[in-house]
Chain A
Amino acid sequence: MIETKNLTKRFGDIVAVDHIDAVIKDGSVFGLIGTNGAGKSTFLRMLSGVLRPDEGTVTIDGKEVFENTLIKSRFFYISDDQYFFNNATPKEMMDFYRTVYPEFDNNRFHHLMKSFELDERRKINTFSKGMKKQVSVICGVCAGTDYLFCDETFDGLDPVMRQTVKSIFVGDMEERNLTPIIASHNLRELEDICDHVGLLHKGGILLSRDLEDMKLNIHKIQCVLLPGTEPEDIKDLDIMKIERRGSLCTLTVRGTREEIEAGIAAYEPVFAEIIPLTLEEIFISETEVAGYDIKKLVL
């Protein structure tokens, strides 16, 4: 388990990460969302031991990360602009990683390179941006670490590759309890993979929730109410948002599915159906409640 307490990093007068307390549980995918400059990369660089925190601590299973090789051998950090040696080929990168990650899986590396149709002996500097990202991810998953820190890793991957990578993550999570921590400025990228999401804004963490919890506790109902009944009249439901299109109302309501179904049934609607919320919609609702306009933050 990764835990940060009061984690702070300043660059001169700028507070890049501002007293963040966060817990990242093993075996889940942690999504770190925020605009450019929100502090995602700085947070990940502290998590990976690159930066020394000005205040607070970063621990993995209770042990400090900074300059702790045992702990550092448990994660692999893919930066948003991953460095490859000059004129290096993927195979040469693999050779280097094998030196520092004892659990590096050569066979899997060769296999994945083949699956991704990447030439191991071609110079990486001739690869496209997406191909470089693929090489990074392949190196990362083959390193055999418990954690994988991905900074904007999905940015630049085409949808097919994105899904492929996600499926690799899912596979590794099932097989060896891999915990990917994925930072992105794009909610939609994380929607179908994250178990837990942290929203960073101006160096601080705005909210950090399990996606399931959020999904279970917030629902969208499309309904047509009896003539003379207005959505505002429904007092039994915690309605967060009301949209009208003719007689069709779309309500965003906080509460469990059962509570909401029971609540709306009491008003005998002409038609009522609970429909799934996207991650974006959940965030919009949650952050609006907190007084922020999410569209300005991450969309």
Chain B
Amino acid sequence: MTSRSLCFKLMREDLKRRVWTIALTILSFLFTLLVPAALKSGSYLDEMAHGNLEAYQKIRLMERMTEVVGMNGVVVTMLLVLSVVWALSGFRYLHNSRQVDFYHSIPVKRHQLFLAQYFNGLLVPAVFYLIAQGASVALILRTGIGAEILGSTPWRMFLVNMVYYGLMYTTTVIAMMMTGNLVVALLGTSVFCGYGPAVIMLIIGYQEEWFHTIYRTEEQGRAFLRAINYSSPFANYMLALGDFSSNTLGARQILGAVAATTALGVLAYGLYQLRPSEAAGRAMAFKRTRTPIKLLIALPVAVVFSIFFYELRSTLAWGIFGAVCGSVLTCCLMEIIYHFDFRKLFANWIHMAGCCLASVLLLLAGMYDWYGYDSYIPKATDVKSAAVVIGYTDSWITYGKPETYIDSQGMENYKWGYEGVWDYQFKHMELTDLYPVMELAKKGVEEDQARRAEKDFRWGYGRERYIIGFRLNNGKTIYRQYYLPLDEGTLEARAMIHDSREYKKGVYPLLEQMPADTASVYFQQYNQQYALDLDQDEKTHLLAVYQKELEELTMARREEELPVGSIQFRTAEHDHAITQNQNNSNSTADIEGRCYYPVYPSFTRTLEIIEKAGVSIKPLNSDDIVSIDVQYYWVGDDVEKSREDKEGELISYRSAEEIEALLPALVYRDYLNFNEYYEIAPAGNVDVMVSFAVPRVNSYGSRSSFNFQIDLNRLSDEDIERFEFYGEKSYD
């Protein structure tokens, strides 16, 4: 008898033994594919026959129907279950010594047995899935919606699902090979699916807990996410489904999953050959794997426990308790599982002690920064340049550019393609004056050491975050972040960094814009948008002037001034995106209102050109205002009684006298957002809306009312009392 024909005979014989698995598979596909397809196609036909459906209703019904053979979560769940069931039912004989004696004494080579069982578990569900998918597609097509609407989705979905079914199935087969008990095999499958992501999350958690100055770039964050997605077959399946839904699933990922399945299949085959028959009934088939697996599970658990208990009381003793507790509990549990005997919980106290020691060392290393991570500052001579992100300064800037997408109607539209704020700044900022940067870093290290000594829980309170990227001469970039108190030293260094041209180049993308790229210029004041009537030379000139004034903007000036308006230099690409969306009757607000920059009163040359272009820049005038609507809130029991009179009320101040009285204290919120360094003394118990006589028109449409704040510094004490504002003036 040839090896191949024997293999097929064994496959046939195996299927006779697994009738229940086949029945379960058929029922699963029947109820997750065929029945829903029949129900939804029937419902669609009924609706079409009786109803006068709108186009969107028809589309929705079609989508629901096609989802059955496309991205169907129930089918995915069922396939996950089936992958485990087929693997368990195929190789469960390995966990029973009677069955092992039977199968391994017959004149069949073990690899033939393995191949027969393994391929049955792959091919049979695939065949039934294919039949069910085909029949479901046929049911849907009988509604007359046309094959072009379904497209290749059902078959691509079939391929993706089967590839990942294979990966999950093979993973479970490996768990079966490595164990001698069904429950332990299930636990093993869970470990294979969850261990990688859990350990990566733990690494992140450990770093977050103990590396106080750690900063991850968005790329590094993505790398961790990628690692999570590729460290588990389950996570990878979910990633593939997500990518399938968003039409970004590539052949490379599918081929990667096929390659992983093949590699795991070869591993399973090798394990089968090596697996001793006497392993049936034991927890672990290979004695050598017991210790590594135990320690690989116990150590992370101990680290989690140590962090958890440390977090409860922030003392070393509790941290050590957690580490020891986690080690002992996990080692004991593993020993009980290994021996199937509760009394064996201390069977290997050396491993337990080793695990305790290792986890305590990891705790101490983190607590006392034995790694030297937080105290590390590169030598100034090793640093080529640096980049510094100052707190949440200039959070109004939008990074990125318009990018196209295809909408549900198949039209090409534009949306804003965001670029990471800090990634942009680290990429574009090259500070060569390292003195203030090093000062901030030194201060950060000192502060961190003080924090470790004092165990200060309220870290970050009253402090500002500084993220520093040191670009080293050897090409590496080292990132650290510090939370620094805003004392004289910090403020001085901050101002030095802020005032430098390199900093601004790294923060404001507009400074990178070339004059020739500027297609149109818009100016806004109190939300009223003006298109500046300028020829190309004037636009180029205005851009150059504005760029220079923006570069020269100092921290000191920002502390004194609020913008008087904002300016937008649109590129041709930006204009085209807006026009394209308008032509497709799509909203333009998302891209039209972006990239406005503040114009400060000290930008005199810029303001001059704007005014020459026909825009009258005037301060807020009582003639423009119809009313100032003030919503009063409850601000606490400690506020004197008189403040409670207007509590909960919305009062509309409309008289000229009232408007004139409040006018000097009105601060436009959008302008405050442009400048975080301008301090006001806000009235804490009110929200203020100002209604203009003439609606303001800009990219977001036409509106009359806008948010303002009340600056108590600009009101007399009498007026504060009169209007019942609550808060403290910051100066007299």
Q: Footprint of B on A, CB under 8 Å?
A: 11, 45, 48-52, 67, 69-70, 72-73, 77, 79, 81-83, 85-86, 92, 95-97, 99-102
Contacts and interface: CB of A to CB of B under 8 A. Distances in A.
A266 to B, nearest CB: 56
A81 B105 contact: no
B372 interface: no
Interface in B150-174: none
A278 B198 CA distance: 69
9 contacts: A45-B101, A45-B277, A51-B277, A51-B278, A69-B107, A77-B105, A79-B102, A85-B16, A95-B13
A92 B13 CA distance: 10
A82 B106 contact: no
Contacts of B110: 67
Nearest to A74: B107
Given A83-B101, A96-B13, 12 more contacts: A11-B278, A45-B105, A49-B105, A50-B105, A52-B276, A67-B109, A67-B110, A69-B109, A82-B98, A85-B17, A92-B16, A100-B106
B266 interface: no
A49 B100 CA distance: 11
B278 A102 contact: no
B107 A72 contact: yes
B10 interface: yes
Nearest to A99: B9
A33 to B, nearest CB: 21
Contacts of A100: 6, 106-108
B13 A99 contact: yes
- Lowest 3 CB-CB distances: which A-B pairs, in order? A73-B107, A72-B107, A77-B105
A85 B6 CA distance: 19
Interface in B3-24: 6, 9-10, 13, 16-17
B343 to A, nearest CB: 16
Interface in B97-119: 98-102, 104-110
Contacts of A52: 276-277
A92 B17 CA distance: 10
B350 interface: no
B49 interface: no
Contacts of A96: 13
Contacts of A50: 100-101, 104-105, 277
Interface residues of B, number: 23
A77 B278 CA distance: 16
A77 B107 CA distance: 10
Given A77-B101, A102-B1, A51 B276 contact: yes
Nearest to B102: A83
Contacts of A51: 276-278
Contacts of B17: 85-86
Contacts of A45: 101, 105, 277
Contacts of B100: 50
Contacts of B108: 69, 72, 100
Nearest to B9: A99
A79 B97 CA distance: 10
Given A51-B278, A79-B98, A102-B1, A72 B13 contact: no
B107 A101 contact: yes
B108 to A, nearest CB: 6
Contacts of A85: 16-17
Contact of A83 (B9, B10, B99): B99
Nearest to A41: B101
Contacts of A92: 16
A48 B277 CA distance: 12
Nearest to B111: A67
A183 B102 CA distance: 17
B106 A72 contact: yes
Contact of B101 (A11, A79, A95, A97): A79
B9 A49 contact: no
B605 to A, nearest CB: 89
A101 B276 CA distance: 24
Contact of B98 (A49, A69, A73, A81): A81
A67 to B, nearest CB: 6
Interface string B257-295: 000000000000000000011100000000000000000
B104 A49 contact: yes
Contacts of A79: 98, 101-102, 105
Nearest to A16: B278
Contacts of B278: 11, 51
A67 B277 CA distance: 12
Contacts of A81: 98
A81 B97 CA distance: 10
Interface string B228-248: 000000000000000000000
Nearest to A84: B102
A97 B9 CA distance: 11
A58 to B, nearest CB: 13
A49 B113 CA distance: 15
A6 B99 CA distance: 28
Contacts of B9: 99
A74 to B, nearest CB: 8
Interface centre among B1, B6, B98, B105 (most CB of A within 10 A): B105
A276 to B, nearest CB: 38
A155 to B, nearest CB: 16
B102 A99 contact: no
A285 B50 CA distance: 100
Contact of B105 (A70, A72, A86, A95): A72
Contacts of A49: 104-105
Interface string B644-683: 0000000000000000000000000000000000000000
A51 B100 CA distance: 10
Nearest to B96: A83
Given A69-B107, A86-B17, A99 B10 contact: yes
Nearest to B112: A69
Contact of A48 (B1, B6, B105, B109): B105
B16 to A, nearest CB: 8
B335 to A, nearest CB: 15
Q: Which one of A49, A73, A86, A100 has the highest number of Cβ atoms from chain B below 10 Å of its Cβ? A: A100
Interface in B55-78: none
A72 B112 CA distance: 14
B117 to A, nearest CB: 14
Contacts of A70: 107
Contacts of A72: 105-108
A85 B17 CA distance: 7
A132 B100 CA distance: 18
Interface string B379-419: 00000000000000000000000000000000000000000
B277 A82 contact: no
Nearest to A69: B107
A83 B13 CA distance: 15
Contacts of B276: 51-52
Interface string B77-109: 000000000000000000010111110111111
A83 B109 contact: no
Contacts of B277: 45, 50-52
